[in-house]
Amino acid sequence: MSAAYLIREATEADLAQIMDLENDCFGNDAWDQDTMHFEVVAHHTYYIAAFDKAAVNETLIGYAGLSKIPGNEQADIQTIAVAESARGKGIGKALMQELLKEARRLQAEELFLEVRADNPAAQNLYLALGFEHIDTRKRYYQPDDVDAWVMRLQFARSTTGREPIVLGIETSCDETGIGIVRGNTLLANIISSSMEEHARFGGVVPEIAARAHLEALRPTLHQALAKANLSLKDIDAIAVTNGPGLGGALMVGVGAAKALSVALEKPIYAVNHLVGHVGVDILERGQLETPTVALLVSGGHTSLLLVRDLLDDVELLGETIDDAAGEAFDKIARVLGLKYPGGPEIDKAAVGGDPKAIRFPRGLTLPKDMEKHRYDFSFSGLKTAVARWVEKAEAAGEEINVADVAASFREAVADVLVTKAVNACLDHKVPRLLLGGGVVANARLRELAQQKCDEHGIELRIPALSLCTDNGAMIAALGAQLIMAGRAPSSLHFGADSTLPVTSVQTH
Amino acid sequence: MPNWTLCIDTSAGTTVAVLQGGEVRSEIHFPESMKHAERIGDAIAQCIANAQIAPGQITNVVVGRGPAPFTGLRIGIAAAVMFAEGAGAQLFGVSSLDAIAKAALDKQTDSKLPLLITADARRSENYWALYSGQTKNGAPVLIKGPGVAKPDALAEKFAGQKLAHTDIKINAVDLGKVFEAQLLDGTASHNVEAMYLREADAVAPKVLRDFGKKVSG
């Protein structure tokens, strides 16, 4: 669902609407117009307002204010209100998050607020944002005679007001990745892969991957620090992938990251692997342009995401219902007697082949499938079709042209991936497509994506391959975004979640 | 200046202790053999807080190398490796079975029988190791193993021998005591490689089909 509201800084011109809402929401406890006027225009305050996008005239549906005196490390949430008719849509949370971001930008170290003791909905929102209940003021709200909870959010001290240096740890599949970023800037991205150890099995073996992670941790960390020319003392925060991925592999990274966080006494952020793939674009362009559709294709994932906001609004449009695209490449490589990993081998074998020689099926593209699975993928039928085709030709004693089979298979995969991704862009009127995941290394996929995006006026983003494959830099980058947005760190209790949904960008 | 030692073992449950020059300053144990990833961070942080020191004061990290079922074991070792990096501490590895043996041998007053230590290896198998007495500084002396075997195979292996047994469970404090003894013996080891004693479960696929001769390329 697209956000039905927009948030901007409030001005004097909004005062009348703000006062109407103030009186509606707070009744006999409402501020008078002079007080509100001073608050909105004062230099030490930051007032923002939310407006209903659907309304013809600008209709104010919420507002909130922050007070931060320069030189004072403490800031206060002055007020927040959301129109009754607009509640339950995340507007209050969005307003709060904007104020948190501003407070952090203004180098506040602590943020305080008061909330009525009889308002659990608001209390829960603040708790979820990382506020703690530190004190209770008896009978603070008069004449209702209601207590106030005093709540406090502590920002990571070392990271206020400047770009945080974040170390990211990624162990969700067969790459041990440790990356270091400073804000939006990449400092190091070291990847140690156990791919060769999986070669004789024709696919990633979870136990082998997990064993390799454990052995790779220390050397990968040392290389990353050397590359960034930093020591662990310089690190402001740790970020770690806690899902989705292979459970046993994820747990190595989670255990490692937590211990590092405790040893360094630095905050930890548990982040989503797939959202990391999207956020990595920040390291190349300094920002992520949203909204964007993201097509993430690897040996473990084939997912189509709609990203309206990297930290708050990531929607899974569709994903594979059976094999990941990368797995299909590996399996077909085996059928054709090619090596592992299959992607590059099939790319090589397809050179000079005719992609139209054999029309292999495009999974989930029939009208009846498109109703239910418009953005989902399926590669198991394609895989079987290729194997059957080869068997039949073999049984008939025909010569098999590997180049044609490889090119036709590759075309079928690239076609269905790109077609569905472009459909998603067109359906949602999103003029951007971002590719991520190891399968992006496939030349034909990149070529076809460029061609189709050009046809439809869609901007195509393909980060450098070292940032497309699984890596720690993207995890560090996502951690840095959370910090710069003023988000509270994760607790130390989180676990690995092999099926973590994309809607969970950070696990607390 | 007395050393502060952080001891971590996740070969069965999650057990963490802080020792100072051989004296126990704090310990935390979760006996269930699950949720290691969830617990390890809090267990370490709380143990250090309870010992009333800062993480940077830890000079040694000692970790149980198993043998143990894989997933949990790795979490403790990964945590120990990274904690040592972060705190600038020395890193040491100890057999988790040695720690159980140490606890049992310290209690073994009247018997000089060899001590057979076993631990659950899942899949109806046990890890085992055989010990006889301790060094002068108190490190258990391993005479056979460690290995992994079905219980009846193990019974057969030691048929006719009189052995002492124990049902003591692994405890990070005992791991630390083995380390202190090994330090005095000069046998403390920096090896923290996980002892799996079993190959990764993976079978190379059969070649799906061989049509090499007919392929033109």
DSSP B90-109: EEEEE-HHHHHHHHHHHH--
- Residue B202: predicted pLDDT: 63
Q: Do both A112 and A179 map to the same domain?
A: no
User: How many structural domains comprise chain A?
Assistant: 3
Tell me whether residue A21 is in a domain.
yes
- Residue A179: predicted pLDDT: 98
ipTM exceeding 0.85, yes/no: yes
CA distance B74 to chain A (A): 6
pLDDT band of A20, cuts 50, 70, 90: very high
Sheet holding A237-243, edge to edge: A185-193, A175-182, A165-170, A237-243, A268-272, A506-507
Please judge whether A493 and B41 are an interchain contact, meaning their C-beta atoms are less than 8 angstroms apart: yes
Residue A398 contacts B where some CB pair is shorter than 8 Å: yes
Whether residue B209 is predicted with pLDDT greater than 50 in this model: the reply is no
The CATH code of the domain that includes A178 is 3.30.420.40
Residue A395 contacts B where some CB pair is shorter than 8 Å: no
Residue A387 contacts B where some CB pair is shorter than 8 Å: yes
pLDDT digits (tens, 9 = 90+) for B12-52: 999 999 999 889 999 999 999 999 999 999 999 999 999 99
Angle at A417 between CA A414 and CA A423, to 5 degrees: 130
DSSP A130-175: T-EEEEEEEEEETTTTEEEEEEEEE--GGGTTSPPEEEEEE-SSSE
pLDDT digits (tens, 9 = 90+) for A230-281: 999 999 999 999 999 999 999 999 999 999 999 999 999 999 999 999 999 9
- Residue A72: predicted pLDDT: 85
Mutant choice from A217, A258, A391, A401 vs B, greatest count of B C-beta within 10 A: A258
- Residue A487: predicted pLDDT: 92
Please judge whether A211 and B212 are an interchain contact, meaning their C-beta atoms are less than 8 angstroms apart: no
- Residue A88: predicted pLDDT: 87
Q: Do both A93 and A138 map to the same domain?
A: yes
Higher-pLDDT residue of B8, A144: B8
Which pair of tokens denotes residue A368?
A: 């009846």
A109 phi, psi to nearest 5 deg: -100, -25
| B215: nearest CB among A252, A334, A400 | A400
pLDDT digits (tens, 9 = 90+) for A71-113: 888 999 999 999 999 988 899 999 999 999 999 888 888 999 9
SS3 A251: helix
Which pair of tokens denotes residue A153?
A: 């959010």
Please judge whether A200 and B76 are an interchain contact, meaning their C-beta atoms are less than 8 angstroms apart: no
pTM: 0.85
**B60-64 and A132-141 beta bridge pairing:** unpaired
Burial A348-385 (b: 16+ CB within 10 A, else e): ebbeebebeebebebbbbeeeeeeebbbbbbbeebbeb
Tell me whether residue A66 is in a domain.
yes
For tokens 């790779």, the residue is: A216
- Residue A202: predicted pLDDT: 84
Q: Do both A350 and A449 map to the same domain?
A: yes
Q: Do both A437 and A477 map to the same domain?
A: no
- CB pairs < 8 Å spanning A and B: 156
% of chain B exceeding 90 in pLDDT: 83
Contacts of B105 (CB under 8 A, 6+ apart): B115, B131, B133, B134, B140
CA distance B203 to chain A (A): 7
Query: Domain containing A253: what range?
Result: 170-194+203-280+469-487
Please judge whether A255 and B36 are an interchain contact, meaning their C-beta atoms are less than 8 angstroms apart: yes
Tell me whether residue A504 is in a domain.
no
Q: Do both A52 and A132 map to the same domain?
A: yes
Q: Do both A473 and A455 map to the same domain?
A: no
A14 phi, psi to nearest 5 deg: -90, -5
Return the C-alpha torsion angle A319, A242, B32, B141, nearest 10: 120
Rounded Cα gap, residues A329 and A30, in angstroms:
64
Which pair of tokens denotes residue B58?
A: 């830890």
Q: Do both A272 and A315 map to the same domain?
A: no
Whether residue A364 is predicted with pLDDT greater than 90 in this model: the reply is yes
- Residue B8: predicted pLDDT: 98
- Residue A71: predicted pLDDT: 81
CA-based R_g, chain B, Å: 20
- Residue A27: predicted pLDDT: 86
Averaged confidence pLDDT in chain A: 93
pLDDT band of B1, cuts 50, 70, 90: low
Whether residue A53 is predicted with pLDDT greater than 90 in this model: the reply is no
For tokens 């305050």, the residue is: A45
Residue A230 contacts B where some CB pair is shorter than 8 Å: no
pLDDT digits (tens, 9 = 90+) for A412-469: 999 999 999 999 999 999 999 999 999 999 999 999 999 999 999 999 999 999 999 9
Architecture of the domain spanning B4-185: 2-Layer Sandwich (3.30)
The CATH code of the domain that includes A144 is 3.40.630.30
pLDDT digits (tens, 9 = 90+) for A139-170: 988 888 899 999 999 887 655 667 899 999 99
- Residue B54: predicted pLDDT: 96
pLDDT band of B217, cuts 50, 70, 90: very low
- Domain finish residue from A98, A128, A155: A155
Rounded Cα gap, residues A492 and A267, in angstroms:
9
Give the residue extent of every domain in chain B: 4-185
Interface of A with B in 128-157 (CB under 8 A): none
DSSP A61-76: EEEEEEEE-TT-SEEE
Nearest CA in chain B to A493: B38
pLDDT digits (tens, 9 = 90+) for B89-146: 999 999 999 999 999 999 887 678 999 999 999 999 999 999 999 999 999 999 999 9
Cβ atoms of A170 and A186 closer than 8 Å: no
Whether residue B69 is predicted with pLDDT greater than 80 in this model: the reply is yes
Higher-pLDDT residue of A499, A54: A499
| A251: nearest CB among B37, B82, B196 | B37
Q: Do both A254 and A383 map to the same domain?
A: no
